[in-house]
Amino acid sequence: MKLKPFAEVIGLSKEKLSAALAPIRARKVRSQAELEMAKLDDELIRLEAEVQEMCAKEDISFPTLLDKLDKAALLERRKEQYQKVLEELFPSKSVSG
């Protein structure tokens, strides 16, 4: 990477500087959303394992089971919302999920 002379950098207007930083900001926003989606995936996997364990027990607490299933459904919906928002904000790139 070649650095711009200091005089050029300080001479940039705020608009030009913002325009120059726009791709970096966009990548940062996209990465933040993808990180949140990864956290949701992690939590979903943990919940699914807990549900399977509960179902394997002799005595099943149905209220607790239903609470976990509700939480899993909410996480799935939230993940879909993240994906939809990313597709709308960044239409040129496909979002893997």
* 19-59 pLDDT, tens digit each: 878 888 889 999 999 999 999 999 999 999 999 999 999 99
**By the 8 A CB rule, do 75 and 43 touch?**
yes
Sign of CA dihedral 45, 83, 92, 4: negative
Mean pLDDT within 61-67: 95
Predicted local distance difference test score (pLDDT) of residue 21? 83
Question: Is residue 96 predicted with pLDDT exceeding 60?
Answer: no
pLDDT at 91: 87
* Contact between residue 72 and residue 51 where contact means Cβ atoms under 8 Å apart: yes
**What pTM did the predictor assign?**
0.70
pLDDT score for 95: 54
